[in-house]
Amino acid sequence: MIRARGLIVTTLVLVLVGGACASSTDRSSSTTSRPAPTSTTVVAPGAVKVTLDAATKQKLGVILAAGFAKSGMPGVGVRVVIDGRRWDTTLGLADVTTGRPYALADHVRIASITKTFTATAVLQLVDQKRLALDDTLDRYVPGIPNGKKVTIRDLLAMSSGIYDYTSDPNFATAFVADPARPWIPQQAVKIMREHSPDFVPGTKTVYSDSNYILLGLILEQVTAETAGYVINRRVVEPAKLTQTVFPLTPTLPRPHPTGYLPTEAGFSVPPAAVGNVNPNAAWTAGAMTSAVDDLEEWSRVLADGSLLSERLQAERLRFRRFDGAKINAGYGLGVERINDIVGHNGAIVGFSTAMYRIPKYDATFVVVGNGSTNSSTSTSDIALSMIQALYPEQVA
């Protein structure tokens, strides 16, 4: 749950059929408060420069329409920015009962994109020499199997081998039944202590939410402040993200869509609505909320490294391929990587999000939607389909 399953285990299928996306709304002029950045795209010799013109927007609209229909999500919002030109589009409904259309300004639960913020806060401590990447876990959180071998780097890079607490059947069943139920991070640690490691630290790259719960606890020990406070004050505020927050309450900021939960057979009619979610359940692995404006800006900060030293930013972007990945997809220090693509996706009951940037093309793709299980990332499938259509060498 609350993880990036879609990037790793789904097969990316492009549907490039004829027809425009008639129900989308093109807001590529200037309807958002933050102006599109200007930049110069670096194009490799022999490559065709992508321009966000009418033909490209139509192509993207077709891909979106197909992906949206396949996903079953009630609503979706999309932003694509290429070389300073922006295309904003929404489809579907924010609320199926009232019929309110999905709005790009709506706040959403960004789930595992939270990990990019947690990792940044941890790496800032490394820059300040208050923490070292080679520090072992047992120094901060004792009693975890292999804790004397697992390093901070292993936790950041998804290479610790620690059991993923969200895979525990009892936790998963209880969380879906009542996402707002009482929960504290130490309960996740208890689950980790009760399970054997999945592999020897450093030998594989396998996605696990446990790594980022532990990093949150380490943040608190080193700073003597709450993890949410550290992330909000030392990451969100310096990045000038006004719609992003590490929440203290189970409610979403307004405006926001209703989140919906599909079953194994898909969405019911009407779909089951998801209400409040206890932020401690996902905590530093997936509790944060944001909106499209900020996700676009954060993708740039994350990929360009303005909050870290140049040395540590290079460490963050260096990635190791996911175990079993069929494409060149892997994990750095708190970022997903696919070739030159930098970003992350997320899934939590009611919401699916994806945020990707290709720095050398000055291209950013943000897709958010209000329908998801804890592991379905339909927005990631849509975003990567768009990227593959425009930059096919990047999704291979």
pLDDT in tens, 27-76: 333 333 444 444 444 455 445 689 999 999 999 999 999 999 999 999 99
Angle between helices 210-223 and 114-127 (to 10 degrees): 40
In DSSP terms, 90 is beta-bridged to 77
The secondary structure of 244-266 as a DSSP string is -B--SSSSPPSS-PPEEE-BTTB
Q: Give the model's pLDDT for residue 305.
A: 96
Annotate 351-369 with three-state secondary structure. EEEEEEEEHHHCEEEEEEE
Q: Give the model's pLDDT for residue 45.
A: 45
d(CA 2, CA 12): 20
Residues 6+ apart with CB under 8 A from 283: 185, 188, 213, 216, 227
| Average pLDDT for the chain | 90
Tokens of 80: 């694509």
d(CA 389, CA 58): 12
pTM value is 0.91
DSSP state of 203: S
**Strand intervals (E) in 207-301:** 259-261, 272-274, 289-290
Q: Give the model's pLDDT for residue 248.
A: 93
Residues of the chain under the 70 pLDDT cut: 1-48
- Up-side HSE of residue 94: CA atoms within 13 Å toward CB? 15
d(CA 265, CA 72): 11
Q: Give the model's pLDDT for residue 44.
A: 52
Q: Give the model's pLDDT for residue 374.
A: 87
Mapping DSSP to helix (H, G, I), strand (E, B) and coil, where does residue 388 land?
helix
Nearest to 266 by CA among 109, 97, 73: 73
Tokens of 352: 């699916």
d(CA 107, CA 253): 6
Mapping DSSP to helix (H, G, I), strand (E, B) and coil, where does residue 145 land?
coil
Residue-wise pLDDT for 74-125, tens only, equals: 999 999 999 999 999 999 999 999 999 999 999 999 999 999 999 999 999 9
> In which residue are the tokens 């220090």 written?
333
Residue 373 φ/ψ region, left for φ over 0, alpha for ψ in the -120 to 50 degree band, beta for the rest: beta
